[in-house]
Amino acid sequence: MSEPFRVGLLGHGTVGSAFAALLSERADAIATATGRRPEVSGVLTRSQGDFDDILSRSDAVVELMGGIEPAREYAVRALEAGKALVTANKQLLSQHGDELLAAARAGGAQLRYEAAVAGVVPVVRVMRESFAGAHIEKVHGIVNGTTNYILTEMARTGASYSDALEHAQRLGYAEADPTEDVNGKDAAAKMAILARLAFHASVGLEDVPFEGIEAITPDDIDYAKEFGLVLKLLGVAERLDGGVSVRVFPCFIYGGHPLASVVGPFNAVTLESPTITEVTLSGPGAGGPQTASAVLGDVVSVMSSQGMDLDPIEELRFIPGDEVESAFYLHLEVADKPGVLAQIAQVLGDNHVSVKSVVQKGMGDNARLVMVVHPVAEGRFNAALREISKLALMRSAPRSIRVIEEEFTS
Ligand SMILES: NC(=O)c1ccc[n+]([C@@H]2O[C@H](COP(=O)([O-])OP(=O)(O)OC[C@H]3O[C@@H](n4cnc5c(N)ncnc54)[C@H](OP(=O)(O)O)[C@@H]3O)[C@@H](O)[C@H]2O)c1
């Protein structure tokens, strides 16, 4: 048997400790498969270990500390020293991806980050290896398990957003401070990583506008059921005429969409390309053992690969949100008087917004119009909304949520 493959472990928390345990459990099998037995050469936490010492005794470094500093500094130093780096750190990759790739290039080292995106779902590997020959047009998915759990609960039980969040916290699906999950920032970091891979280009967190689920109400989820729609927080990275768009927003999808059946804390990502049509991958989005398994997969990949497989850099134009076309669900609380629908239809028509389906709900003070409109430039739709909100017949501000029209029924 050859020399052991020495892994320096930075961080020994939820994922780090699960990784160390899994590595020792799987070491013999990996040795049989790769010819080298992996072993942990040193562990760094706030209270133990020395980074320089661990680096000098490692063939690869696994970063499971989280946060930006000192994770960034250690990652760059490891790569520049020619040591493979495996990380699950989405913040680091989405904010310093270019710097990490440059360090990997400079050191001739491999960089792997499967666990940073959709937990155990192997979307990074599929994109960089299986679909390396495909021109990916669109990647979209549910990349945050906390929000998917909350939305699933709201749809299932009619619970309010805050009650569903509290429930998620009790079950450990949401952290004590869930801000970056519920406001869409966590998903935006993951979409920056996926868009970089899909478009072979520099994409950072600052390129990804994001909206969260805090303002979603159970009645919108309920009304939209009548149109066959299910609400999800989606990350969408797509090539459009004249550039790309990478965004995160809550949106409705039709029941036949492959992402519609992804419930609870699960993640799923759909890849679309003319050569592969579409492929959806799904599985648990987080959890110590699950994430550790994805990290160990990367370590084995590093042990069995030669050289680097770094992405070429393509220049991208990010299309402003106002120019991107989307369909919308629209909820209007209106006065129950003759001519209301005609006035609203007039404003929509003036702004080139065309209605796909509409239902009228309630009567008197409780009257509301719920509709789905065909895809239109978001700037035009928002202009129509501004005009509608000024109409005397409106009883409250209009509420709108994007709709993804693809039905995948054929
Ligand atoms: N938890 C999940 O389900 C999950 C899923 C996907 C990705 N991730 C990612 O995996 C990474 C680790 O997450 P985790 O949940 O395992 O975190 P965690 O439980 O908070 O553990 C962090 C570990 O890093 C160490 N650490 C933090 N700052 C340090 C510093 N300045 N110097 C030395 N050691 C330091 C901590 O040391 P002490 O023990 O001394 O505090 C601890 O051992 C993060 O990037 C996270 O985003 C986690």
pLDDT value at residue 410: 44
CA of residue 11 to ligand 1 center, whole Å: 5
pLDDT value at residue 406: 73
Distance CA 242, CA 203 (A): 17
Q: Predicted confidence band at 407 (pLDDT cuts at 50, 70, 90)?
A: low
pLDDT tens-digit map of 169-193: 999 898 889 999 999 999 999 999 9
Neighbour-count burial for 28-63, b at 16+ CB within 10 Å, e otherwise: eebbeebebbbebbbbbeeeeeebeebbeebbbbbb
CA of residue 233 to ligand 1 center, whole Å: 25
Ligand 1 nearest atom to the CA of residue 11, by list position: 24
Q: Which sequence positions are flagged as catalytic?
A: 190
Task: Determine what percent of the chain is predicted with pLDDT higher than 70.
Answer: 97
Task: Tell me what the mean pLDDT of segment 93-122 comes to.
Answer: 94
Ligand 1 nearest atom to the CA of residue 18, by list position: 16
Question: Atom 28 in ligand 1: which residue has the minimum CA distance?
Answer: 65
CA of residue 201 to ligand 1 center, whole Å: 28
> Comparing C-alpha atoms, which of 118, 46, 125 is closest to residue 88?
118
pLDDT tens-digit map of 34-60: 999 999 999 999 999 999 999 999 999
Distance CA 396, CA 399 (A): 9
pLDDT value at residue 409: 47
What are the C-alpha distances in Å from 193 to residues 84, 112, 117, 338? Answer: 19, 12, 7, 51
pLDDT value at residue 307: 62
Task: Tell me what the mean pLDDT of segment 156-169 comes to.
Answer: 96
pLDDT value at residue 132: 86
pLDDT value at residue 2: 83
**Residue 88 · residue 294 · CB < 8 Å:** yes
pLDDT value at residue 336: 84
Task: State residue 321 phi and psi, 5-degree precision.
Answer: -55, -35
pLDDT tens-digit map of 236-285: 999 999 899 999 999 999 999 999 999 999 999 999 999 889 999 999 88
Provide the mean pLDDT of the chain: 93
Per the DSSP assignment, residues forming a β-bridge with 175 are none
Q: Predicted confidence band at 88 (pLDDT cuts at 50, 70, 90)?
A: very high
3-state SS string for the chain: CCCCEEEEEECCCHHHHHHHHHHHHHHHHHHHHHCCCEEEEEEECCCCCCHHHHHHCCCEEEECCCCCCCHHHHHHHHHHCCCEEEECCHHHHHHHHHHHHHHHHHHCCCEECHHHCCCCCCHHHHHHHHCCCCCCCEEEEECCHHHHHHHHHHHHHCCCHHHHHHHHHHCCCCCCCCHHHHCCHHHHHHHHHHHHHHHCECCCHHHCCECCCCCCCHHHHHHHHCCCEEEEEEEEEEEECCEEEEEEEEEEEECCCCCCCCCCCEEEEEEEECCCEEEEEEEECCCHHHHHHHHHHHHHHHHHCCCCCCCCCECCCECCHHHCEEEEEEEEEECCCCCHHHHHHHHHHHCCCCEEEEEEECCHHHCEEEEEEEEEEHHHHHHHHHHHHHCCCECCCCEEEEEECCCCCC
pLDDT tens-digit map of 56-76: 999 999 999 999 999 999 999
Task: Tell me what the mean pLDDT of segment 314-324 comes to.
Answer: 93
**Residue 121 · residue 142 · CB < 8 Å:** no
Residues with CB under 6 A from ligand 1: 11-16, 44-47, 64-66, 70, 88-90, 115, 119, 286-288, 291
